Chains A and B, each alone.
Chain A
Amino acid sequence: MGPVLAGVLQLLALMAALALAYVPLGNHMAEVYSSDRHWRVEKWIYRGIGADPDTEMRWPAYLRGVLAFSVVGVLFLYLLQRLQGVLPGSLGFTSIDPDQAFNTAASFVTNTNWQSYYGEQAMGHVVQTAGLAVQNFVSAAVGIAVAVALVRGFARSRTGELGNFWSDMVRSVTRVLLPMSVVAAIVLVACGVVQNFSGIHEVGQFMGGDQQWNGGAVASQEAIKEIGTNGGGYFSANSAHPFENPTPFTNLFEIFLLLVIPFSLTRTFGLMVGSVKQGYAILAAMSTIWVGFVALMMWTEFAHHGPAFDIAGGAMEGKETRIGVGASSIFAVSTTLTSTGAVDSSHSSFTGLGGGIALLGMQLGEIAPGGTGSGLYGMLVMAVIAVFIAGLMVGRTPEYLGKKIGTREIKSAACYLLVTPALVLVLTAAAMALPTPAHSMTNSGAHGFSEILYAYSSAANNNGSAFAGLNADTQWFNTTLGLAMVLGRFLPMVFVLALAGSLAEQQPTPATAGTLRTEKPLFTGLLVGAILIITGLTYFPALALGPLAEGLAS
């Protein structure tokens, strides 16, 4: 069997596994966010918080909960890193500098997990487990909560009430993320991912002498890193490191983990709005883009255009032998079309066009299938835009799921859409215009520009992967990327919740013969087209300067 066929079969196996999980996990999550019964342990947690989980919140209250929880999260994680030098269990690592501590705190609280530090030499046990891994859970939980609030906006009428933030967030942890992580972590350990607290220790070598390893609670962090679409690696090489991703099977398993919640949430959405077919239409749009991108990525990586790859005879630079070109392509597309940002290979050493596909995946807004929660709400905002465009074509007030898309709704959706491109393009332009940021580039020419465009695309879209040749541990990059992450996460959430609020206040509009049937393939096609055209128009000039120039030259 050739590597191309093996790559295709791995993609098919992945799709089969995701299809098997779709109904049970989607149903389970619908039950989690619809049930009015609290588990005993959840009641203890609510008592600890001092919040009543049954109080319904309108959108401003829900938003205040999101923001308060996240502000505290950033401050706590910042302080933990600043105090690392005096905390026990820090392996003797020193405290993190203020700019890098801010960057990392913003990064993990916003579900981005951009890392300007080397995991091996910067973060001790306490910061890794009690700081970073905790945000892996709760940032994902916040994302799901906001998505559920938007779904309730469609499902509910004449109320404006969107549920309770504390309850949605806590249940995401206790009933979805935590149980899945325990199982996944144990599977990973069985395959070779390390899980210990032995710290830095010496191990013998074949040729004599010693090598020094950094042990740690890697498997427990690896599991939630993928399930919560976080992507922050324990080690610098992330999922390329054999201790994070030891076998071909764990590689496929990790791709499965990072896709399963975002895809299955479309089922949850369908159930909660009373029509699973609506969920299928969204799922179809996500799957079309995902499969299309994987096919393109495999094609360009197997074709391996580029001077160095031509000499080598394959695009194996930055790729692991056990994983190979095919599975690395699937991983790269899946991690950039979700908000994960974990990498099992060096994206910077992909072919010019391959790097461009990873970039474009993030620039689509990470909606195919997107991050835990953020993928669903991003895609639903795009659906609102697509319905609006269709409405303009026929001159009729558009509706989606029985709700009118009026001025208020389209303003929220349009603002949502503008935030990340503005951040990416303005900050990239600023970095290119100033004299010093360019010193951080490893590569020159088109690829050097791509390193910076990639960094801001990754930060503003909360992805976290990198063209890692860029030395991002400078005050400029730590600060501006940190701001891009915070604004790119929370401004869109403001507009999503505002949209949810105005939808929930409406009366339902009964469907008529003139209503666009949003559960049909025609709508899926319209949605995919709208996504590609809007993103294409926004980013084409920037992409032409970077990956397209590099890809076409070779």
Chain B
Amino acid sequence: MNNSVRNTARLLAAGLRALLVLTLATGVIYPLVVTGIAQGLFSHQANGSEIKADGRVVGSSLIGQSYNLPLKKGQETPEPDLKWFQGRPQNGLGTNDVNTRYKLILSGATNRSGDNKELIDWVTAAKAAVVKDNSTAGYEVSPSDVPADAVTSSGSGLDPDISPQYAKIQIHRVAERNGLSADQVEKLVEDHTDGRTLGFIGEPRVNVLELNIALEELVARS
């Protein structure tokens, strides 16, 4: 009995020493070495791919933002500022409830199934809103023009992109609200459309923040 207790203790001690040695290698040295190389060679990417406009950091090209009007009195959800290109719905995002001294955004999806009542309502309402918001005097958006990404929330809630089709149906609205011609805005969208990597990896997309920065510059110039 005594012997087996001693053997077990010896084995557990060996396990602990193994864990500590490997923690040093994989939990301290490895992340520090990778951080060193990353900061040395790719500091822009390693620090969050921040982008500037007018000398001010306005976010990351990788993280989607919302382009809303300030909340009015008595409003719970803000209205979109239709001057700017709009991103995807973000119904899955949360706010932190553990460390409330921060205002961290919690990434996430809605996790609603295809037959979920709430999701059906969200999608239906989003579709109606997209059709209404983007129809202008001379341009009618039909429900079948609205792509799926325009009415669904992404996996992270932070999707920085929209499909070229969603950008396309926003062109007339954006042009009208900014006093630009539809051709000018269409050109802008084309310049900011990324195709599939190597022609087949991923999906074509438009980065909304980069597009809106370019739009702001175009408005300032004209």
Contact = CB atoms under 8 A, between A and B. Distances in A.
Contact of B38 (A10, A204, A219): A219
Contacts of B65: 205-207, 211
B74 interface: no
Contacts of B162: 321
B156 A241 contact: yes
Interface stretch (B92-100, B173-181, B183-191): B92-100
A51 B94 CA distance: 48
B148 A237 contact: no
Nearest to B29: A178
Query: Of B15, B68, B160, B213, which is in contact with the most chain A CB atoms at under 10 Å from its CB?
Result: B15
A440 to B, nearest CB: 12
Given A243-B62, A305-B114, A133 B31 contact: yes
Contacts of A122: 98
Interface stretch (A1-9, A291-299, A360-368, A380-388): A1-9
Contact of A137 (B26, B42, B148, B155): B26
Interface string B159-171: 1111100000000
Query: Of B48, B59, B115, B127, which is in contact with the most chain A CB atoms at under 10 Å from its CB?
Result: B115
13 contacts: A49-B18, A72-B12, A118-B96, A169-B18, A191-B45, A194-B45, A206-B212, A240-B109, A308-B116, A317-B153, A323-B202, A349-B110, A352-B115
A324 interface: yes
Given A237-B155, A308-B116, A71 B15 contact: yes
Contacts of A99: none
Given A118-B96, A192-B62, A320 B115 contact: no
Contacts of B111: 318, 346, 348-349, 442-443, 467-469
Contacts of A94: 98-99
Contacts of B102: 121, 200, 212
Contacts of A51: 14, 18
A194 B155 contact: no
A267 interface: no
A242 B158 contact: yes
Contacts of B163: 321
Interface in B114-173: 114-116, 119-120, 123-124, 127, 144, 146-149, 151-163
A121 B162 CA distance: 28
A133 B108 contact: no
Contacts of B109: 237, 240, 317-318, 345-346, 348-349, 468
A174 B202 CA distance: 34
A460 interface: no
Contact of B12 (A71, A170, A317): A71
B219 interface: no
B149 A68 contact: no
B185 to A, nearest CB: 17
Contact of B26 (A9, A138, A252, A344): A138
Nearest to B146: A313
Contacts of B218: none
Nearest to B10: A50
Contacts of A322: 159, 161, 202-203, 205
B46 A219 contact: yes
A49 B17 contact: yes
Interface of B: 8, 11-23, 25-28, 30-31, 33-35, 37-39, 41-42, 45-50, 53, 56-60, 62-68, 81, 84, 88, 92, 94, 96-99, 101-116, 119-120, 123-124, 127, 144, 146-149, 151-163, 196-197, 199-203, 205, 209, 212-213
Contacts of A467: 111
B53 to A, nearest CB: 7
Nearest to B9: A68
Given A93-B98, A121-B99, A205-B58, A311 B107 contact: no
A193 B63 CA distance: 12
Given A206-B209, A237-B107, A6 B203 contact: yes
B31 A129 contact: yes
Contact of A130 (B27, B123, B127): B27
Interface string A203-231: 11111000111110101110010000000
A195 B58 contact: no
A349 B115 CA distance: 10
A327 interface: yes
A236 B98 CA distance: 14
A247 B197 contact: yes
Contacts of A211: 59, 63, 65, 105
Contacts of B161: 320-322
A48 interface: yes
Query: Of B14, B49, B200, which is in contact with the most chain A CB atoms at under 10 Å from its CB?
Result: B200
Interface stretch (A25-33, A180-188, A282-290): A180-188
Given A190-B42, A219-B38, A308-B114, 5 more contacts: A6-B203, A73-B19, A133-B26, A173-B26, A252-B201
Contact of B46 (A68, A196, A241): A196
A529 interface: no
B149 A93 contact: no
Interface string A326-356: 1110000000000000011110110110010
Contacts of A198: 47
A403 B9 CA distance: 36
A550 B58 contact: no
B113 A173 contact: no
B58 A192 contact: no
A308 B108 contact: no
Nearest to B56: A204
B106 A121 contact: yes
A237 B27 contact: no
A414 to B, nearest CB: 29
A321 B11 contact: no
A120 interface: yes
Contacts of B99: 92-94, 121
A64 interface: yes
A503 B88 CA distance: 57
Contacts of A137: 22, 26
Given A308-B115, A311-B123, A134 B23 contact: yes
B217 to A, nearest CB: 12
Given A249-B201, A306-B113, A308-B112, A195 B38 contact: yes
Nearest to B114: A306
B115 A318 contact: no
B114 A351 contact: yes
A248 interface: yes
A314 interface: yes
A130 B123 CA distance: 42
Given A49-B17, A71-B15, A316 B202 contact: no
Contacts of B213: 206
B115 A220 contact: no
A398 interface: no
B104 A134 contact: no
